[in-house]
Structure 1
Amino acid sequence: GNFEGIELLDKLWIDGGNLSQYEPGSLKLIKKINHMIINIRNTSVFSTIVRDLLHSVVWLEVREIMFSIPAEMQLLRVMSSSFADKVSFKQALLTDSTVPEIVSILEDMPKLVEVEMTDCRLLGTGRWKTQMQANQSQTLRVLTIEKLSIEKFYLFTDLQTVEGLLSLLTKVTVENTKVFLVPCRLSRHLLSLEYLDLSANLLGDQSLEHSACQGGWPSLQILNLSQNSLSDFEMTGKSLSHLRSLIVLDISQNNFGEIPDACEWPKTLKHLNLSSTQIPKLTTCIPSTLEVLDVSANNLKEFGLQLPFLRELYLAKNQLKTLPGAAPIPNLVAMSVRRNKLNSFSREEFESFKKMELLDASDNNYICSCEFLSFIHHQAGIGQVLVGWPDKYVCDSPLAVRGVRVGAVHLSLMECHRSLVVSLICALVFLVILVLVAVGYKYHAVWYLRMTWAWLQAKRKPKRAPAKDICYDAFVSYSENDSDWVENIMVRELEQACPPFRLCLHKRDFVPGKWIVDNIIDSIEKSHKTLFVLSEHFVQSEWCKYELDFSHFRLFDENNDAAILVLLEPIQSKAIPKRFCKLRKIMNTKTYLEWPLEEEQQELFWFNLKIALKS
């Protein structure tokens, strides 16, 4: 190919599995290649291409090459002159016999800082005959091994032959490689190691104690032991307690279960990841020096640890129903309570975290109550604090707004202040009733209701009782205050007349135990006439009103002369209640008998009254 004029390439990938020839110098014109990927199985062609790129490649990645024949390794010796910073092997094949050669080549590379091996295979048990020692000028600092397949890993040796190469390494990753033990001697040779990742391996409590022995990993600051076989939380802390520089520890995805109340940890520990470790409840075993704590996915129902230096807290995928209290964690800056059982949180809870900058409370089932919505809508700058706002905050209830984003919901006044609205309605109804009662009292509504009932009762009966049922000549309606005149003068005069008149008096003739209104109605209907003794007392008497009311409905409506009015004393027209409009009319249009005070005129009065009763 012709690469003339190309001086800089970010990435060059040569995938030539069947490539058998290469014209030397074709790539030599390129001055710099940031990432070079070579997938060539022919070692001779591979060697020629690398020779052209000795000074231009920054990161050399070798794929699907077989380092299985020691004789072919001489062709690869050209790599030792490469100025690459990083070398990666992917899907390569190594053997016990070729590993020392590869190490030797990598040692001689003048600028090599990082070596990476991904998805490679090693045929052997680590019995390398040559003792490998680091050169004084060795620049290698980072070693990464991911998914290295060692078929007989359980027979692998203690790696004494490579101990001399380890003292200058600062960052080592051995991930998903079935590591079950790091020999103590090897750990003690990792003098400069600051970062160690042993995740997704087979380390147990006993093997960790041996691997992190006294004097091992003396400079270690970051340790990842996630997804191993650890189960004793207290023993894990004790095994690592001597690491005086340890700051970050990841022991997530181990199966610890319940943890004790007291543990021993490195005093420098600030970051601890305990996510997915089956811990049902947190105790004071958690070190109080922490600045970052991750206890996600542990089925926790509460959090109340006293962690005065904590700045970040991750509680996602637990069972919390409320936000943790702010008092035990006063310096918290960021918190995640995503995917818990949070229904809401109040302004007081939110504002109690004085230094909070980020809160991830997304993916919870929020009850969009009026109080919660009022807080959300009126809290200044809440959108900058809530992570995932507004898309990840959705109402679960009320049913009418389920699935709607919290920020988009606005409940009505009735929904928000139901008790207040109900109270106001009740007060209004009570006020209306009070007004109606007052108006009814003023305009005699009760009287009209009572008389309507009496009238309906009377309407059910025949308008005129049969002759055989007539018992009295007259029913006398009078006020109790006028009883002396009625009972001692009128009754004596009429009942002792010749022939005598039969009068019906309520005191004497009403049926005991019978409703008084029924007594009045029956007495009027069983009498030829109804004799009203009118006076100032009469129009003020409640029962006289009933008697007069019935006559008002029954007798006056029939337009007959069954009613006889006797005026015992002069009555002003205005003294008669306005509701008795027909009585007023009758008194204005018909003649009534007036009781005279002069004795000589009383004979005429009695004569006229007897004539009226007989008519």
Structure 2
Amino acid sequence: MNSYPLSRFSSLESLQELYLDGTCLTNLPRYTFLSNKRLTRLSLNDNQLTQAALSAIALDLGPSLSFVDLSNNSIESLRIPGNNKIKANNTELDLSGNSLRSISKLDLVGYEETTALTLHLNSNNISVIARDSFSKMKSLHLLDLSKNPLCRRLHAGKDGAGCPALSNLTEGLGMAGTQLTNLSLSKIRWKADRLDLRMMNMLGRTGLEVLIIQGNSIGGVGEGALGNMTKLQTLDMANCNIKEFSPLAFSKRNRLRNFNLKGNKIQNLSVLDLLPKLKHLEFLDISGNGLGIQKPYFAIKKCTSLQILNLSKNRLPPKIMFHDLSSLKTLHLNSVVDRKGGFNLIDLTLKNMTSLVNLTFEFNNAYLKCDLKNASIFSAVPSLNTLSLANNSLGQTNPAILKKMFKNLGQIWKLRLSGNGLVELPLGMFDDLVQMTDLHLQVNQITTLPAGIFNKCKKLAHVNVENNKIISISEGVLWAILPTSGGSLRQLDLSGNKWTCDCDIRWFVHWLRNTRVLLSKGKQEHCNLPSDLRQLKLVDFCPAWIECDNHLLHLTAGLTSSVVAITLTSYLIFIFRWDIKYAWVIRKTRRNARLRNGYVEIPDERYAAFVSYCSKNTKWIKDELLKNVEESDDMGAPLRLCIYERDFICGNPIVDNIEEYMNQTTRVVFVVTGDSLQSRLCDHEFKVAQNKLFEKRITSIIFILHEDVDKKTIPDNMQTMMRHTTCLCWPENGTMRQKTVFWKKIRLALLR
């Protein structure tokens, strides 16, 4: 589209922000934004607008406008056509990526009435700046001229005076006494043997707080070069090819807080002599300078304001000490020693650094060799929450030392141990790291993770074990940190390991199929061994059950258990055989029996049995036999016995009573004692019972041996009958259990 009609925005009087990026605009006619007096932010980047757009913005928009983005258009000059001026009080104008070539005093007339102006002119083609261009720009707050070829026309001289555009800029800013606080001159092709003292003095008049000149070529910074810049708080001189930096470059009144000397060529220790003079310094980066310190030790002490220090990519001595840096929070010491000889971490001394929270010591071929009592080398930094020891040689450390190395680090959140050649992780190594959330163990030689290694790390959310030689992970490794067990694990990186698809990996495969934990390659891990399964994904590995279980062992265990169970059952059945048999008969009797006069009725029988005994045993008959047979309630109703003292009819001959009452039952119980064997009445009862047995009117005869009887005194015919009928011995002195079994046998014999 070429332009917007007047009516496009006229009704949007309350509009505050408008973004028309990448809409192919080529023109902004006057009155386009006349009704948008409340507009504070206007973005028109990546269009094809020309210088005329500046006029429309200056004429139409009110003092509330604070930001205008005209970057990446086709504007060739800063000059606002028609001598128009921007009326906004506090304006930020972004003209980066246009076609600006020069800056003159007339170009900036339209910006003089703003109370605070920010100009982004980076990435243009500016190579000419008139001497008086900024003479009236007192309201200029920030100026960004980075990535412009300001110094391409002439080669630099000894002090940089060969760059007229830069000289004119600094002189104009200094003479105008601007409010400039931020100046960026990075990558402007500035080449000088030394930092120009006059230019820095002129900039010192502006009250400059931030100066960025990185990416140029400045051979050195001499004495007093920055002495007039007493308000400077941030100085970025990274990648400026600086070889010398005088310790007297700053005045004692300096307020410098942030100092970046990264990627220069300062090889002597003089730059560190600056530290005592920079009493407000909070950030210092001198990494990548190739410092070559010849002393046997290196020490930085008592810099109480320093919070961030980066000494990476230098060459420090084999003993490194940091003392009393009470405010230091971040320390970077990557690639600071000769990797060929290695570095013993016992030679890294950290004392009274209670604020240190971030320590990186990477690419130093470091290991720990010391006595076990001195292994807790980080005990002086109790607040440490990020520790990176990646790409060292901790694999050479004794496992017992390695286990104690991380003691007293209960505040650690993130631990990086990747690239250390670790083969094993001693159990208990991470037990003190109860706050740890991130653990990086990738690119080591670990073959297995011991069960319980993460038991104390309940907050562990991310574990990276990529590119090791792990063949399997058991349930005991991850159990404590899984969400299902109260853990916090959310991401597990596993790729590049040597998974062996055998029976030992079955639990891990099952877990992979069902887990919701984020995996580095999803569920695409493949088997490594055996070789014929290398194209198979772990989640698809499902071995046959017969391949994985020890069936001979299981079968042996099963058979043994069966034999033991059968033997035990048989033994119990034998011990309790009468109880079992009695219970079965009782249950059967309960189901089929009927009651008559309160006793169990046996079909065609009045009595359950006829009892033959000697009168001398009457007491036992009444106290034991009747009580346990007739008065027992096991069946719900007792069995009735026939005894002559109670049941015979008085007046009838005894012989007739015996005949009559024995006919009313099919069972006879003989209580055998020495006296009964001598009794004529008992002998008569036996003979009657014997005759009725032959006549099949009696079906069962039960002998109770009430006492020990000499076998010779027992008649032969009775002995013969005893061998073919039930014969029980009364346990006179037996246990309660023996007597209970005896009565159950009697009742069973009576119920058959």
Q: Which residue, out of 476, 487, 491, partners 1:348?
A: 476
- What is residue 239 of structure 2 aligned with on the other side? 147
Residue in structure 1 matched with residue 216 of structure 2 by the alignment:
120
Partner of 2:169: 76
Please name the residue that 2:441 is paired with: 315
Alignment partner of 1:399 is 2:531: yes
Question: Shift of the alpha carbon at 1:132?
Answer: 0.5
Name whichever of 14-23 and 81-90 sits farther off.
Answer: 14-23
Task: Select 1:384's aligned residue among 517, 536, 559.
Answer: 517
Matched, 1:198 2:286: yes
1:269 corresponds to: 384
What is residue 299 of structure 1 aligned with on the other side? 421
Matches within 5 A, 1:148-547: 148-150=240-242, 153=243, 156-162=244-250, 164=252, 167-169=255-257, 171-180=258-267, 181=269, 183-203=271-291, 210=298, 212-215=300-303, 217=306, 218=325, 219-229=327-337, 232-234=343-345, 237-238=348-349, 240-261=350-371, 262=374, 263=377, 265-282=380-397, 283=402, 284-286=404-406, 288-289=408-409, 290-304=412-426, 305-306=429-430, 308-309=432-433, 311=436, 312-323=438-449, 325-327=453-455, 329=457, 331-353=459-481, 354-369=487-502, 372=505, 374-378=507-511, 382-391=515-524, 393-407=525-539, 409-411=540-542, 414=544, 417-420=546-549
Cα deviation for residue 307 of structure 1 reads 5.3
- Shift of the alpha carbon at 1:336? 1.6
Partner amino acid, structure 2, of 1:8? D
- Structure 1 residues 49 and 402: CA distance shift in structure 2, 3 A: farther
**How far did 1:200 drift?**
2.9
CA contact (8 A) 1:196 1:223 kept: no
The counterpart of 1:13, out of the listed 89, 96, 100, is 96
SS of 1:322's equivalent in the other structure is: coil
Q: How big is each residue's C-alpha offset from its partner over 1:173-232, in whole Å with a ceiling of 9 and x where there is no partner?
A: 332223443655422234444444333333467669545134464432112221233654
DSSP-derived class of the 2:470 partner:
coil
Deviations 1:108-164 (Å, cap 9, x if unpaired)? 555744x4443321134x3235560553xx3x54444432313xx3xx254222254
Is 1:95 aligned to 2:192, yes or no?
Answer: yes
1:50: how far off?
11
Cα deviation 1:443-483 (Å, max 9, x = unaligned): xxxxxxxxxxxxxxxxxxxxxxxxxxxxxxxxxxxxxxxxx
Q: TM-score scaled by structure 1?
A: 0.55
**Aligned partners of 2:466, 2:405: CA distance in 1, in Å?**
25
Deviations 1:47-78 (A, max 9, x none): 84998897586755244443710784541124
Deviation, 1:350, is: 1.1
- For residues 66-119 of structure 1, give each alpha carbon's deviation from its aligned partner in whole angstroms, at most 9, with x where no partner exists: 371078454112456365656251253253654434544555555744x44433
Structure 2 stretches of 5 or more lacking a match?
1-49, 58-67, 72-93, 307-324, 482-486, 557-752
Q: Which residue pairs with 2:587 in the alignment?
A: none
Equivalent in the alignment of 2:692: none
Letter of the structure 2 residue corresponding to residue 237 of structure 1: L
- Hey, what's the Cα distance between the residues in 1 that align with 2:138 and 2:495? 51
Inter-CA distance 220–236: structure 2 relative to 1 (3 Å threshold): farther
In 1, are the aligned partners of 2:459 and 2:488 still within 8 Å (CA)? yes
SS of residue paired to 2:528? strand
8 A contact 1:134–1:164 mirrored in 2: no
Aligned AA (1:174): L
* CA distance in structure 1 between the aligned counterparts of 2:336 and 2:209, rounded to whole angstroms: 31
Instruction: State the one-letter code of the partner of 1:128.
Output: E
Structure 1 pair 201/363, CA: closer, same or farther in 2 (3 Å)? farther
Confirm or deny: 8 A CA contact 1:362 1:388 kept in the other structure.
yes
Distance 1:26 1:347, change over 3 A: farther
Which structure shows the bigger proportion of residues in helix conformation? Answer: 1
Residues 510-565 of structure 1 show CA distances to partners (whole Å, capped at 9, x for unaligned) of xxxxxxxxxxxxxxxxxxxxxxxxxxxxxxxxxxxxxxxxxxxxxxxxxxxxxxxx
Q: Secondary structure at the match of 2:387?
A: strand
Q: Secondary structure of the equivalent of 2:146? A: strand
> How far has the Cα of 1:274 moved from its partner?
1.6
Distance 1:327 1:389, change over 3 A: same
Give the letter for the 1:338 counterpart: E
Find the aligned partners of 2:502 and 2:138 in 1 and give their Cα distance.
Answer: 68
Distance 1:358 1:163 in 2: 52
Q: Which aligned pairs between 1:584-603 and structure 2 lie closer than 5 A?
A: none
The whole-number CA distance in structure 2 between the counterparts of 1:8 and 1:53 is 22
Deviation readout 1:354-391 (Å, 9 max, x if unpaired): 34333222222322445535544446873434344235
Deviation for aligned residue 1:297: 1.1
What amino acid maps onto 1:87 in structure 2? Answer: S
User: What count of residue pairs does the alignment treat as equivalent?
Assistant: 411
Partner in structure 2 of residue 608 of structure 1: none
The 8 Å contact of residues 474 and 505 in structure 2, kept in 1 or not, is answered as yes
Change beyond 3 A, Cα 1:348–1:285: closer
Whether the aligned pair in 1 keeps the contact of 2:443 and 2:468 (CA below 8 Å) is yes
The structure-2 alpha-carbon separation of the partners of 1:41 and 1:18, relative to structure 1 and needing over 3 Å to count, comes to closer
Corresponding residue SS for 2:390: coil
1:176 and 1:258 map into 2 onto residues whose CA distance is 30
Structure 1 residues 340, 103: CA separation in 2 closer, same or farther (over 3 Å shift)?
A: farther
1:219-261 CA distances to partner (integer Å, 9 max, x unpaired)?
A: 32112221233654446531x4244432212221223355435
Contact 2:103 2:133 in 1 (8 A): no
Contact 2:463 2:493 survives alignment (8 Å)? yes
The answer (yes or no) to whether the contact 1:341–1:365 under 8 Å persists in 2 is yes
SS of 1:352's partner is: helix
TM-score (norm 2): 0.46
**Aligned with 2:146 (options 61, 84, 92):** 61
Give the match's secondary structure for 2:420: coil
Tell me: CA distance 1:334–1:373, structure 2 relative to 1, closer, same or farther (3 Å). Answer: same
Superposed displacement of residue 318, structure 1: 0.7
1: CA distance between counterparts of 2:293 and 2:394? 17
Residue 122 (structure 2) aligns with: 37
Identity %: 18
For residues 568-604 of structure 1, give each alpha carbon's deviation from its aligned partner in whole angstroms, at most 9, with x where no partner exists. xxxxxxxxxxxxxxxxxxxxxxxxxxxxxxxxxxxxx
Letter in 1 for 2:547: R
The root-mean-square deviation of aligned C-alpha atoms, in Å, is 4.4
- Cα contact 2:276–2:303 (8 A) shared by 1: yes
Gap runs ≥5 in structure 1: 428-615
**Pair 130,32 (structure 1): closer, same or farther in 2 beyond 3 Å:** closer
* Distance change >3 Å, CA 355–CA 20, structure 1 → 2: closer
* 2:331 aligned partner, one-letter code: L
In 1, distance between residues paired with 2:228 and 2:233?
15
What is the DSSP-based 3-state SS (H/G/I as helix, E as strand, rest coil) of the residue aligned with 2:197? Answer: helix
Q: Distance in 1 between matches of 2:298 and 2:523?
A: 50
Sort the Cα spacing of 1:8 and 1:56 in 2 relative to 1 into closer, same or farther, 3 A. Answer: farther
Q: Residues 172 and 127 from structure 1, CA distance in 2 versus in 1: closer, same or farther, beyond 3 angstroms?
A: closer
Distance 2:463 2:288 in 1: 27
Q: Confirm or deny: 8 A CA contact 1:203 1:228 kept in the other structure.
A: no
